[in-house]
Chain A
Amino acid sequence: MSASSIKKENTDYEVRADHAMCVNESTLDRPLYTNIKYALLGMLFGIVFVKAEIVSWFRIQEMFRLQSFHMYGVIGSAVVVGMLSVFLIKKSGARSIEGEPIRIESKKFNKGQIYGGILFGLGWAMTGACPGPLFAQIGTGALVITVTLLSAIAGTWVYGKFSNRLPH
């Protein structure tokens, strides 16, 4: 779906799913405190980020200069484990612990994945961070990275403002 296809009659879900890999598939209305489990999972994830030095600017520079296997090993093995997990979940028809059937939407190709992908790649090598690591970097005490995070939020906003005029 392209950004220009957002119209008033679109459902809330369709707007959220526009240009997003990550959409909340749940239709259950759960109380706010149930989200604490996601905070705990995020916390474990943040610890891995820092301890494996994935959020280190130096490690990112090594990766883009082909000077170390470390980052390729991390991403590669994460994808293999992720693929196996998704395969098993689909095959077994597993449900979430809240009892919902698990659904994963397919994604359509658009040129934004090329243009946006390259622009993000440039920013990744400059800051040594993707969106997740920005939060982890701030956590390690690099408070100046809040400026980078605010700038990333501004970048997202500018994209949202002009998305219907950009080639997709």
Chain B
Amino acid sequence: MLDFLRQPWPWYVAGPLIGLTVPALLLLGNKTFGISSSLRHICAACIPARIPFFRYDWKKEVWNLFFVGGILVGGIIASVWLNNPKPVAVNPQLVSELGAYGIHNYSSIVPADLFSWPSLLTLRGFLLMVVGGFLIGFGTRYAGGCTSGHSIMGLSNLQWPSLVATCCFMIGGFIMANLILPFILQL
């Protein structure tokens, strides 16, 4: 059983399980699924700085912080007890492309060749981790949600603004991965 769980899960198992999070949250306590809001609640709790956008009772949304805390624990459980010892199997085309940039280590979820404490001090690492992170936080709030709030919850509720947002997420991703990232990886 454990060996079965340890191998990578196919999309047709993972996708429906993620979709079921939507009714699970609604039925557990009338909560709408969304994760990027947790970043805002952290701002409201720790550094509100009299900004109107952060002046609300964040304790009313504390369930969201429990939820993301759970995700972190889930990450620990999956990597400690359900770890797949084999490297992630990706398209050989990607392997040859990334090989040209010196990326050869496929053993962990995030490439050790790019994301590490020493690489944080390089321009490449700084751009990927610090600038990339900033864009996630700024962009998701500007858009009013992320992949969970818009692409899963919003689309499930047939909201067309969420469809617009989801298309824009994909456009941004395609532009970065195909047109900009090659220059960053060269650094």
B139–A120 contact, CB under 8 A?
A: yes
A151–B134 contact, CB under 8 A?
A: yes
A124–B172 contact, CB under 8 A?
A: yes
B-contacting residues, A19-37, CB 8 Å: 19-26, 28, 30, 32, 34-37
Expressed in whole angstroms, the Cα–Cα distance for A159 and B101 within the complex equals: 33
A77–B15 contact, CB under 8 A?
A: yes
B35–A144 contact, CB under 8 A?
A: no
B-contacting residues, A92-107, CB 8 Å: 94, 96-98, 100-107
Expressed in whole angstroms, the Cα–Cα distance for A104 and B75 within the complex equals: 29
A139–B76 contact, CB under 8 A?
A: yes
B110–A137 contact, CB under 8 A?
A: yes
A131–B140 contact, CB under 8 A?
A: yes
B residues contacting the other copy or chain, number (CB 8 A): 136
Report the nearest B residue to A103, measured CB to CB: B30
Q: List 28 A-B contacts (CB under 8 A).
A: A15-B53, A21-B32, A22-B33, A38-B67, A39-B73, A43-B70, A46-B73, A51-B9, A52-B9, A63-B173, A70-B11, A74-B11, A82-B19, A86-B157, A102-B27, A112-B144, A117-B172, A119-B135, A121-B171, A125-B173, A126-B131, A131-B39, A136-B75, A149-B133, A151-B133, A152-B134, A157-B137, A161-B49
- Scoring A residues 115 to 139 as 1 if CB is less than 8 Å from chain B, else 0, what string do you get? 1111111111111111110111111
Report the nearest B residue to A114, measured CB to CB: B168
Partner of A83, one of B18, B77, B90, B156: B156
Expressed in whole angstroms, the Cα–Cα distance for A105 and B120 within the complex equals: 41
Partner of A116, one of B18, B32, B143: B143
Partner of B75, one of A50, A82, A101, A102: A50
With A20-B34, A125-B173 as known contacts, state yes or no: A57 contacts B115, CB within 8 Å.
yes
**Dominant secondary structure of chain B at its interface with chain A:** helix
With A24-B63, A86-B157, A112-B144 as known contacts, state yes or no: A12 contacts B56, CB within 8 Å.
yes
- Scoring B residues 93 to 111 as 1 if CB is less than 8 Å from chain A, else 0, what string do you get? 1100010000000101111
What residues of A have a CB within 8 angstroms of the CB of B98 in the complex?
58, 61
What residues of B have a CB within 8 angstroms of the CB of A61 in the complex?
90, 94, 98, 177, 181
- Scoring B residues 54 to 65 as 1 if CB is less than 8 Å from chain A, else 0, what string do you get? 111100111110
With A77-B19, A130-B35 as known contacts, state yes or no: A109 contacts B161, CB within 8 Å.
yes
A151–B75 contact, CB under 8 A?
A: no
**Interface centre among A53, A116, A126, by most B CB within 10 Å?**
A126
What residues of B have a CB within 8 angstroms of the CB of A98 in the complex?
29-30
Partner of A126, one of B21, B159, B181: B181
What residues of A have a CB within 8 angstroms of the CB of B150 in the complex?
21, 113, 117
- Scoring B residues 145 to 159 as 1 if CB is less than 8 Å from chain A, else 0, what string do you get? 111111111111111
Partner of B155, one of A15, A82, A138, A163: A82
B88–A145 contact, CB under 8 A?
A: no
- Scoring A residues 6 to 23 as 1 if CB is less than 8 Å from chain B, else 0, what string do you get? 110000100110111111
B28–A120 contact, CB under 8 A?
A: no
